[in-house]
Amino acid sequence: MKRPLIVGNWKSNKTSTEMLSWIDEAVKQKEFINIFPGQMIICPPFPYLDLFSREILKHKLRIGIGAQDISPFELGAFTGEVAAEHVKEYASFVIIGHTERRKYFLESDELLSKKVAQAKRVGLSVIYCVNDEDMFIPDGVDVFSYEQTWAIGSGKPDTPEHAALVIENLKKLHPTVLSLYGGSVTKDNVSSYMSENCIDGVLLGGASLKFDSFFSLLQALS
């Protein structure tokens, strides 16, 4: 049986109080969360990585932790940057090259390759986002996520058939890298992506924000 990889990207959402309520609700469903046959990773905003990781540990929740970005530089005089060493204290995963980083912060392939190198230097697993099959994926990436720009947060997902076609093509060049589909995934459509052989999991934005929608999505896969 496939063990789906479910990655929730909270983006620049939530206060610490809202995050703690999400965790409270997860604790109530701890038994289910801990026996879910797949792997779950939540990527909170940087300032909450510490608190989130302590709460997850305290409540023994089987949820992995990821950051949403990382500095392309080593530790040093780079004001405002969050270096690989900082991330590694709290997280095992990092999203690099999300569409919103490329769109609003004009991140280039060259910059993103530096970020991947920094992440790998400290042993973080990299979840790398691309929008089509022609986009460059640097060496060292552990998981790629295919998501069309227009499908993100729009309620208009790509079809499972087309997503599978793109992902199959990406896997021809990167056969050992795990794959995610991202873009308007909900509890109602998640199974159709997971039933495609080449898709190993999903990247969630909106559906990961409220615990009940995240939980219904897990239930749809159980």
138 touches ligand PEP by CB under 6 A: no
* Residue 152 interacts with ligand PEP (CB under 6 A): yes or no: yes
Near ligand PEP by CB under 6 A: residue from 4, 6, 9, 61: 9
Q: Which two tokens stand for residue 37?
A: 């046959």
Q: Is position 204 an interface residue for ligand PEP (rule: CB under 6 A)?
A: yes
Catalytic-residue membership of 98: yes
Distance CA 191, CA 84 (A): 34
User: How far, in Å, CA of 106 to CA of 202, rounded?
Assistant: 24
Q: Residue 99 contacts by C-beta under 8 Å, 6 or more apart in sequence?
A: 129, 131, 147, 149, 152
Binding-site member from 130, 141, 194, 203 for ligand PEP (CB under 6 A): 203
Contact between 33 and 62 under an 8 Å Cβ cutoff? The reply is yes
Q: Catalytic site residue 147?
A: yes
Q: Which stretch binds ligand PEP (CB under 6 A): 23-31, 78-86, 163-171, 204-212?
A: 204-212
Window of 18-26, 53-61, 200-208, 210-218 that interacts with ligand PEP by CB under 6 A: 200-208
Give the residue with the Cβ less far from ligand PEP, 26 or 207. 207
CA distances from 32 to 9, 37, 71, 116 (A): 21, 10, 35, 33
Q: Is 180 in the site for ligand PEP (CB under 6 A)?
A: no
Among positions 182, 190, 200, 214, the unique one binding ligand PEP when judged by CB under 6 A:
182
The CA-based diameter of the chain, rounded to the nearest angstrom, is: 48
Q: Look up residue 3 and give its two tokens.
A: 């063990």
Which residues does the annotation mark as catalytic? 98, 147
